[in-house]
């Protein structure tokens, strides 16, 4: 049975890295000693070692150890043997590129389906959807495919922002971009606001956190989903 936390972000305003999620993660990763971390997204271009150390420091607060996937000789075996897995945020294009380059995307999908607990934040959440086509990131590299894990039957737009009333900015809003996507694609898209996350237990998907989320479907008006609401299709 799938067991996942799919969060919009790792850090909310005024808090340290993962701090707002730690109470949830302490229960979610109960009885787990070591988490396998996938640092491929490299936020701000930092090294795998530096990123892994940052995650290790955060999980130390709840007495859990962290090992980076790059520290293992065999990436597939590291995923297959992991007690739990965390994929962090950064650039989704580079994350997906490295998952394909290291030939671990299908292995990751398999172990999640078999019940290995999974945490994703930002880019690590984007890859949980059908594809990565609703990321906000710049295409700094060209992955072999936009197809991702497909652990949930919709796409994630992490860090979803609402239009600012009275703003003089004339660029496209997130809603406009998603409408453009739906001209050519019928995959639903969930705009996940900062501080919100999805809890996935088997086929049950529940919105968690303090805020609503915005669900977009092709040729339909967007719907607001309340925290605690089940996401059904």
Q: Which residues are catalytic?
A: 122, 137, 159
Task: Specify the DSSP class assigned to residue 196.
Answer: E
As a whole number of angstroms, the distance between CA 53 and CA 65 comes to 10
Task: Residue 59: count other Cβ atoms within 10 Å of its Cβ.
Answer: 21
User: What Å distances lie between residue 169 and 166, 172, 173, 175, 179, CA to CA?
Assistant: 9, 9, 9, 14, 18
Strands 118-121 and 3-7: parallel
CA distances from 152 to 54, 125, 187 (A): 28, 10, 11
Find, among 12, 34, 30, 33, the residue nearest to 21 by Cα.
Answer: 12
Query: What is the C-alpha to C-alpha distance for residues 207 and 46, in angstroms, rounded to an integer?
Result: 31
121 three-class SS: strand
């Amino acid at each position: 049975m799938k067991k996942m936390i799919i969060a919009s972000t790792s850090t909310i305003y005024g808090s340290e890295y993962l701090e707002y999620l730690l109470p949830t993660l302490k229960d979610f990763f109960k009885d787990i000693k070591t988490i396998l971390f996938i640092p491929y997204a490299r936020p701000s271009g930092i090294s795998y070692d530096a990123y892994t150390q940052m995650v290790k420091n955060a999980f130390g607060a709840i007495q859990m150890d962290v090992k980076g996937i790059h520290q293992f000789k065999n990436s597939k075996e590291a995923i297959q043997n992991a007690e739990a897995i965390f994929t962090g945020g950064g650039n989704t294009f580079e994350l997906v590129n490295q998952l394909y380059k290291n030939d671990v995307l299908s292995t990751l999908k398999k172990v999640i389906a078999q019940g290995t607990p999974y945490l994703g934040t930002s880019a690590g959440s984007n890859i949980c959807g059908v594809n990565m086509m609703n990321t906000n990131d710049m295409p700094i590299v060209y992955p072999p495919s936009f197809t991702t894990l497909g652990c949930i039957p919709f796409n994630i737009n992490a860090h979803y922002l609402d239009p600012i009333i009275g703003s003089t900015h004339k660029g496209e809003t997130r809603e406009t971009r998603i409408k453009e996507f739906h001209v050519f694609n019928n995959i639903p898209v969930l705009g996940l606001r900062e501080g919100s996350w999805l809890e996935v237990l088997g086929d049950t998907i529940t919105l968690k956190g303090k805020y609503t989320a915005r669900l977009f479907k092709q040729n339909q008006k967007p719907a607001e989903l309340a925290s605690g609401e089940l996401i059904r299709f």
